[in-house]
Amino acid sequence: MAVNLPPPDPAQLHPVRGVELGVAMAGIRKPDRKDLLVVRLAPGAAVAGVFTQNRFCAAPVTLAKKHLKNPVRALIVNTGNANAGTGKEGLKRAFSVCRALGKAIDAKPSQILPFSTGVIMEQLPAEKLIAALPALRDADWLEAAEAIMTTDTVPKAFSRRVRLSGGEAVVTGIAKGAGMIRPDMATLLAFIATDAKVLPAILHRMVKATAAASFNCITVDGDTSTNDCFVLIATGKGPAVSSRKDLLQLERAVLEITQLLAQALVRDGEGATKFVTVRIERGRSAAECRRVAYAVAHSPLVKTAFFASDPNLGRILAAIGNAGVKLETERVDLYLDGVCVVRKGGRDPSYLESEAVTAMKKPEFTVRAVLNRGKAAATVWTCDLSFDYVKINAEYRT
């Protein structure tokens, strides 16, 4: 069950001018479920993306990165099969899907961006995807979010309206992910569209900056998938970004959507029962603070203690000390929510374990470490590691 993550309200998900959505049931892995999404774009739309750093990147990632150099007319996303670890045959199958969709919408195969998610090292049933294309039906953003889910328990979608000097623009985004989530861009599949008119160079900078402050600040299990991507689309069918104020307004909205989606992934982490904010303060650099935060957020020992609501402070201190940062440990303070548990590297004299237990029993709480060696700070979001995480992943292919 997702932690404080209600299903999206379809009335709050605004259509984006210049984007047409279609979903179908291709029967890739499970019968009678939406598992194919096509996002058709108006001519002239600007598209930017960032992709997984996993060296075993999937065939669709390889093609999408290559096709992104061309004017993009559509995205096609399937769930149930990752088409990763499939060699040259996987590339052929992914391209055949691009070719079929291109023919259907009068576009070149190189103008189609393919995306896949699901089981790794199984060949993509391209014939099922191609056969399902004529059955595509018009969809809204909620149905689009549902069509890309794998082990997700809740679809993830958010939307905002933005007032620009030339009128009102819309930003709407969807994402999927619950496992194999780790900061290393992109840790998921995420697609965000706006009808604002944005120069491609600005869009490329925006996708990297917002990813760094959102999708690269989360971890569920420390594993980076082979298929991860984050794509940002600007159709240009709405008001133009014509001033620095407009740009800041749009960037603020895109960042808000990406952070909401990123946090939704963690809240829906496989088997998660706790949503935990890890904040590191007063480090010498943001990079140093992130390194310490990730050490805490990745640790299986820490995460299982979160699940048990067990303030096993030694596990947290050990993770901080193992981050590879030359800390002056006698300066480190540690808090669970507002409870000071460590002062100057040792147990706070006023610390009561009952107060820490109360904090950790909440579905959401914060672990805050103060390094007292600089002015920088960083925040990452994580979850606990439960019995259900093992069960879900042990039974994933069955």
CA distance 314 to 138: 54
Q: Which of 79, 86, 187, 210 is catalytic?
A: 187
CATH code of 10-267, in short, is 3.60.70.12
Answer yes or no: are the C-beta atoms of 179 and 151 closer than 8 Å: yes
User: Strand 364-370 vs strand 275-283: parallel, antiparallel, or unpaired?
Assistant: parallel
- Name the class of domain 275-394: alpha beta
Give me the tens of pLDDT residue by residue for the chain, a chain 398 residues long: 689 999 999 999 999 999 999 999 999 988 889 999 999 999 999 999 999 888 889 999 999 999 999 999 999 999 999 999 999 999 999 999 999 999 999 999 999 999 999 989 999 999 999 999 999 999 999 999 999 998 899 999 999 999 999 999 999 999 998 765 566 655 589 999 999 999 999 999 999 999 999 999 998 877 677 888 999 999 999 999 999 999 999 999 999 999 999 999 999 987 889 999 999 999 999 999 999 999 999 999 999 999 999 999 999 999 999 999 999 999 999 999 999 999 999 999 999 999 999 999 999 999 999 999 999 999 999 999 988 887 877 776 66
DSSP state of 6: P
What residues are paired with 75 via a beta bridge?
39, 113
CA distance 53 to 74: 24
CA distance 398 to 380: 33
Answer yes or no: are the C-beta atoms of 378 and 293 closer than 8 Å: yes
CA distance 228 to 226: 6
Written as six digits, the tokens of 350 are: 């006023």
Looking at residue 226, its pLDDT comes to 85
pTM of the model: 0.93
Quick check: is 62 catalytic?
no
Residue type at 281 in one-letter notation? E
Q: Quick one: which H or E segment has residue 368?
A: strand 364-370
User: Hey, where are the domains in the chain?
Assistant: 10-267, 275-394
Looking at residue 398, its pLDDT comes to 63
Written as six digits, the tokens of 230 are: 């984050």
Looking at residue 1, its pLDDT comes to 63
Looking at residue 86, its pLDDT comes to 96
Two domains, one topology: 10-267 and 275-394: no
With b meaning 16 or more CB within 10 Å and e meaning fewer, what string describes 231-253? bbbbbbbbbbbeeeebbebbbeb
